[in-house]
Amino acid sequence: MTKLAHVILCQLVAAIWIAAIWVLYCTPACTHPIEHLIAAPIAVLIPAAVVTCRICSDPRVMRWLEQK
């Protein structure tokens, strides 16, 4: 079950990453691709890390992980 959850989470992160890159590079507002290369990891990874920390600090999730 944990492997399935891990695969789903990885696919979700990859889909969000691809969507963010598409928005940054395929819209007419894109004029500075280098700045977008710098901003994309910050815009995607920091919120993902915050959400992951909040989920992992939940006691129910910790008990579920200990059971697995």
Domain boundaries, the chain: 1-66
Q: Which class for 21: exposed (0-12), middle (13-18), buried (19 or more C-beta within 10 A)?
A: middle
pTM > 0.75: yes or no:
no
Query: Maximum Cα–Cα distance for the chain, whole Å?
Result: 50
**pLDDT recorded at residue 14:** 86
Measure Cα distances from 21 to 11, 30, 39, 41 in Å: 15, 11, 10, 10
Task: Tell me the pLDDT tens digit for each residue of 9-33.
Answer: 888 888 888 887 777 777 766 666 6
How far, in Å, CA of 19 to CA of 1, rounded? 27
